[in-house]
């Protein structure tokens, strides 16, 4: 299927930093990925971003073919691209972390957002949306979601290419691309997990003996929770390590659709059931958490039920401002 840019539903439209759609609706097809990747290449050149581009993907069925197409275009454009060394799924936070490290996080001068050699990234994910969907988002050198100025520029250029030129964009066949000097291997999991102890007091968590249940909801964090537990000796259990592109194990959301929305009581029904106290008032875990498909959203479940994520974030922010070592009280 080839999209018609004259049809609004078939154009590239960026939402929360990314384009989303279904190939079944001619809204997320090869032409979209070629055009959007080529537009990102042009955009990063206008911004002087010429470092490594970190790319990851989640567990949606459309993510791997889109990831492969993007690498073909990036290699054709001469962009050095970092892929996962394990050939595994990559959570958005792991991609963001790699961008920040490449741009100076952890150094005395801190993260750079200007100058030569800046890194950026792409995450192939439709986030928490249904299995039929695909998604493609851009993270600039600050590591977070691209702002509307960036996404508007990229979408406009991508739609120009959809109208004329996407089929002439230079590509390198995926096998050749992966074997080229433009594609480098990067251990996203090791880099992310090893650095956690520099921002989280994992010793306090370990010594407290808190029992944690982590449900990846079939998403990209599936290998990360176990690695965190093993590295830091935490009492953490991966509740459901299943990866199924159809998400047949998921409970239906409020509208009858499968959606990996960890803030939804319906989508989190299985984990809520696990955390419901038994006749003796006991639960298998003290606290449990779930993530969406690319793991940039969280849901926290206690014996009292699913917490409102925004309420939790407010408490977390207050805690950081009052307890974070080396942060001024003001």
Catalytic residues: 127
SS3 label, residue 178: helix
Instruction: Give the pair of three-digit tokens for residue 275.
Output: 């955390």
Phi, psi of 295 (to 5 degrees): 65, 30
- Terminal CA-CA length for the chain: 57
- Which strand (E) or helix (H) includes residue 306? strand 305-306
- Strand order of the β-sheet with 183-186 is 18-22, 133-139, 120-124, 53-57, 81-84, 183-186
- According to DSSP H, which parts of the chain are helical? 30-46, 63-76, 92-102, 148-163, 174-178, 188-195, 202-208, 222-232, 269-274, 309-323
Please give the backbone phi and psi of residue 111, each rounded to the nearest 5 degrees, phi first: -70, 130
Separation between Cα atoms, residue 274 and residue 48, nearest integer Å:
50
What is the C-alpha to C-alpha distance for residues 260 and 219, in angstroms, rounded to an integer?
Answer: 8
* Cα 71 to Cα 271: distance, rounded to the nearest angstrom: 36
214 forms bridges with which residues in the sheet?
238, 289
Structure tokens at 236: 């953490």
**Alpha-carbon distances, residue 64 vs 55, 82, 163, 219, 294 (angstroms):** 11, 15, 25, 13, 13
Contacts of 290 (CB under 8 A, 6+ apart): 214, 215, 216, 217, 262, 268, 271, 298, 299, 301
């Amino acid at each position: 299927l080839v999209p018609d840019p004259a049809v609004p539903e078939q154009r590239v439209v960026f939402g929360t930093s990314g384009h989303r759609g279904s190939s079944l609706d001619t809204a997320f097809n090869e032409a979209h990925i070629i055009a959007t990747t080529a537009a990102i290449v042009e955009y990063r050149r206008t911004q002087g971003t010429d470092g490594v581009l970190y790319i990851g993907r989640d567990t949606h069925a459309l993510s791997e073919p889109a990831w492969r197409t993007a690498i073909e275009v990036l290699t054709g454009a001469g962009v050095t691209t970092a892929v996962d060394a394990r050939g595994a799924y990559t959570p958005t936070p792991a991609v963001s972390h790699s961008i920040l490290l490449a741009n100076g996080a952890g150094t005395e001068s801190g993260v750079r957002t200007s100058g030569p050699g800046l890194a950026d990234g792409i995450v192939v994910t439709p986030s928490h949306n249904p299995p039929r969907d695909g998604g493609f988002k851009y993270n600039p050198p600050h590591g977070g979601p691209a702002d509307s100025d960036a996404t508007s520029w990229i979408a406009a250029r991508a739609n120009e290419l959809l109208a004329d030129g996407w089929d002439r964009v230079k590509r390198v066949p995926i096998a050749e691309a992966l074997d080229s000097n433009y594609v480098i291997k990067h251990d996203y999991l090791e880099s992310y997990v090893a650095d956690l102890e520099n921002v989280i007091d994992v010793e306090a968590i370990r010594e407290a003996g808190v029992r944690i249940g982590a449900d990846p909801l079939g998403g990209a964090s599936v290998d990360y929770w176990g690695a965190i537990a093993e590295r830091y000796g935490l009492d953490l259990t991966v509740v459901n390590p299943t990866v199924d592109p159809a998400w047949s194990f998921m409970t239906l959301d409020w509208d009858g659709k499968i959606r990996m929305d960890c803030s939804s009581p319906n989508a989190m029904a299985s984990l809520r059931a696990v955390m419901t106290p038994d006749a003796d008032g006991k639960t298998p875990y003290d606290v449990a958490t779930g993530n969406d498909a690319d793991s940039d959203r969280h849901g926290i479940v206690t014996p009292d039920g699913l917490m409102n994520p925004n309420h939790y974030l407010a408490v977390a922010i207050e805690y950081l401002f009052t307890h974070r070592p080396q942060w001024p009280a003001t």
